[in-house]
Structure 1
Amino acid sequence: MQGFEFMDQSASIPKRGYLYVALGALLWAISGSSAKFLFQQGVTPFDLAQARVTLASVLLFLWLLLHRPSLLRISYKDIAYFVVLGVAGMAMVHLTYFLAISKIKVAAAILLQYQAPVLIALYGVIVAKENLTRYTVLAILGAIAGCYLVVGAYNLDLLTLNREGVIYGLLSAMAFGGYSVYGERGMRRYDPWTVLFYALLIAAIFWNSVHPLWNAAPPPFASVLRSYSPVQWAWILYIVVLGTILPFGLYFQGINLIRSTRASITATLEPITAGVISYIFLRESLSSLQILGAILVIGAIVLLQLRQEYDDKTPALIRARSNTAKAA
């Protein structure tokens, strides 16, 4: 984790940011297949979401306490910020997505969730009054079109989808977009690992309050304390570490260096990676349109890379300036 720290303002910074997000998308895709296995074994999505954020917050706390205890310090005045990020961001990303896939097909839910780059870009232009370059617009369009093809949305009758499921899917996109933008805001003051830890902690408190009521289970931590088989526990821990702590950490490190719009575009590599994994390990075929979609997404990311945009509003640079000013 220490190797992810902001070092300088060289041209390599954007490359590292894209690399972090790409690695995070790869880990998310692999953990998705692992979660599917657990669902087939009787673990519910709600149980997994609760166990995921609860154990992730505990493990990340222990790591920070032993290796970087200074990152656990926050100002009392920022507690409200982290509550909003943890509940409206981290917790809602899981809840709305799971509700979406309970009403509509997974492919449609993924397509709706990955409208987040559009929402983030609109926020930047309308609310933050930022300029959007033509290359970023092209990259967003390419990524969305590519995602549409990769998930096979052309096989879905989108007009006949369950309306409630579509609403949950769009809320999922809003939660993911809000989580990205709001997380970026916090990283102007705090290290990405600090922001991630408190987002996970608040999400864990939320899930352990809401989940027992949702499932009529009496005690908090019900899913975490449940007696799973050793194989199930192995996959749960895999998802906690390699499907939650590392990919979310890498995603935040990416936002830290390239900001939320570019990071969210790069994250559309997740469905591509999932498709390739299914092709290799599950022998699921990829149609020519899906391959074209993958090319479009990769092309969108390459387009951003070719521009080598260095943004002086990245959280890493803002924190560096603030620390320099304090030292002076």
Structure 2
Amino acid sequence: MAAPGYPGEMDDDARDPAPGRSGTGRGLGFLLVAVSGVCFGLLPIFNRQAAALGLRLPTFLAVRFLVAGGALWLWLLLRGIRFALTPAQIAGFVGMGALYVVESGFYFASSRRIPVALTALLLYLYPAMVALWEVLAGRHRLAGRDLIALLASLLGTALAVGAPGRGTDVLGLVMGLATAFGYTAYILLGARLQKGVPSLVASAWIMSSAGLMYLILALGSHQWEPALALRAWKPLLGLAVVGTLLPIPLLLAGMARVGAARASVVSTLEPLAACLFGALFLREILLPWQWVGAALILGAVILLSVERRPDEPLAER
């Protein structure tokens, strides 16, 4: 990531494919979404590597978003993509950038304090939160499948977090939960603002806004560390390219082939990849009941995805 990894919604043509879509095209689509999810799973690993080098979050995330946003603007320029936005749309995307600053800050701060797999799992509560908001707002009736998914998310979270005790980083857990709340707000706002706007255009505005806000924050708090950022160039490059720029076209291309509903199921590889990478690189192993909690949370995501409308966008990390 999600911060999570990056913002954006799917283009108008990235909807559930027509029945005639070839099996080869669907297979490629599933592969592209899967690779995108694995890339997202590496985000907290790059974060931990940067933290080990002493790089603080404001500089870390300012560089990430500025590099990614600049690369997107360059891509749009080279492709000759022009899309005029109204002042209201621009203000809305800047607002989404501010939301993304808060959400991504919680995500990366949490993953520096608690196991990276747990942070990734807590983020994946957002589909249940979005569904609950739709019910409370009267835009969706609570069906049996919704209720099962919501209960599974709650039980899964309780199992994944476990009983707080000595050594439990409560602040890390709270920030992980705050990430899911922040991403839910981001998704709900983006669903309104990004209609009719190409995904890469929206992403370029949001990322650039977030990058500038982090730069201002870093300068204002005396945490702008360009010299240290140069020494931490490896995790920064991995974050900007592998964890941000590479998944954008992969996810969008995959969704165009298989549709948002199927892609949302495949994207659950992200927290599983975070679990695997946490074990391989950080020696963080989930306990048995935490694996059960993970299965319940991801099962809830799949249940909610089955009911996704063909034209409903899939959030990107």
Where on the TM-score scale, by shorter chain, does this alignment land: which range?
Answer: 0.7 to 0.9
Question: Where does residue 85 of structure 1 map in the other structure?
Answer: 96
Q: Does 1:59 align with 2:71?
A: yes
Q: Relative contact order: is structure 1 or structure 2 higher (C-alpha 8 Å, sep ≥ 6)?
A: 2
Q: Does 1:196 align with 2:207?
A: no
Shifted more, 48-57 versus 9-18: the winner is 9-18
Question: Where does residue 214 of structure 2 map in the other structure?
Answer: 207
TM-score, normalising length: structure 2: 0.73
Give the CA deviation at 1:87.
Answer: 0.6
- Specify which structure has the higher proportion of helix: 1
Give the CA deviation at 1:47.
Answer: 1.8
Q: How many angstroms apart in 1 are the aligned matches of 2:270 and 2:119?
A: 13
Give the CA deviation at 1:58.
Answer: 0.6
Contact 1:54 1:200 in 2 (8 A): yes
Give the CA deviation at 1:123.
Answer: 2.0
Alignment counterpart, residue 181 of structure 1, candidates 180, 188, 202:
188
Q: Does 1:142 align with 2:152?
A: yes
Contact 1:116 1:173 in 2 (8 A): yes
Give the alignment of 1:135-174 within 5 angstroms.
135-143=145-153, 145-146=155-156, 148-149=158-159, 152-154=160-162, 156-157=164-165, 162=170, 168-174=175-181
- The residue matched to 2:106 in structure 1 has which SS? helix
Alignment counterpart, residue 10 of structure 1, candidates 18, 25, 41:
18
Question: Where does residue 116 of structure 1 map in the other structure?
Answer: 126
Change in 2 beyond 3 A, CA 1:271/1:116: same
Aligned-pair Cα RMSD in Å:
4.0
Q: Supply the AA of the counterpart residue of 1:74.
A: L
Q: How many angstroms apart in 2 are the aligned matches of 1:312 and 1:271?
A: 24
Question: Where does residue 326 of structure 1 map in the other structure?
Answer: none
Q: Supply the AA of the counterpart residue of 1:192.
A: S
Give the CA deviation at 1:205.
Answer: 1.6
User: Which runs of 5 or more structure 2 residues have no equivalent in the other structure?
Assistant: 1-9
Give the alignment of 1:187-266 within 5 angstroms.
187-214=194-221, 216-217=222-223, 222-223=224-225, 228-229=230-231, 232-247=232-247, 257-258=259-260, 263=264
- The residue matched to 2:140 in structure 1 has which SS? coil
- The residue matched to 1:228 in structure 2 has which SS? helix
Once the two structures are superposed, residues 276-298 of structure 1 have per-residue CA deviations (whole angstroms, 9 ceiling, x without a partner) of 22334556545433443444345
Contact 2:119 2:176 in 1 (8 A): yes
Alignment counterpart, residue 48 of structure 1, candidates 60, 64, 82:
60
Once the two structures are superposed, residues 46-105 of structure 1 have per-residue CA deviations (whole angstroms, 9 ceiling, x without a partner) of 2211111111111111112112522x53223311111111112x1111223345567x64
Q: How many angstroms apart in 1 are the aligned matches of 2:142 and 2:275?
A: 31
Change in 2 beyond 3 A, CA 1:174/1:21: farther
Question: Where does residue 272 of structure 2 map in the other structure?
Answer: 272
Give the CA deviation at 1:14.
Answer: 10
Q: How many angstroms apart in 2 are the aligned matches of 1:92 and 1:17?
A: 31
Give the CA deviation at 1:300.
Answer: 3.9
Contact 2:145 2:303 in 1 (8 A): yes
Contact 1:18 1:258 in 2 (8 A): no
Once the two structures are superposed, residues 256-310 of structure 1 have per-residue CA deviations (whole angstroms, 9 ceiling, x without a partner) of 9538xx94x87654332211223345565454334434443454455456x4x46
Q: Supply the AA of the counterpart residue of 1:311.
A: R
Q: Does 1:29 align with 2:41?
A: yes
Q: Supply the AA of the counterpart residue of 2:164.
A: L
Change in 2 beyond 3 A, CA 1:183/1:18: farther
Q: Supply the AA of the counterpart residue of 1:272.
A: L
Contact 1:21 1:251 in 2 (8 A): yes
Q: Supply the AA of the counterpart residue of 1:240.
A: A
Contact 1:125 1:131 in 2 (8 A): yes
Q: How many angstroms apart in 2 are the aligned matches of 1:83 and 1:299?
A: 34
Question: Where does residue 320 of structure 1 map in the other structure?
Answer: none
- The residue matched to 2:42 in structure 1 has which SS? helix
Shifted more, 11-20 versus 112-121: the winner is 11-20
Q: How many angstroms apart in 1 are the aligned matches of 2:133 and 2:28?
A: 25
Q: Percent identity?
A: 24
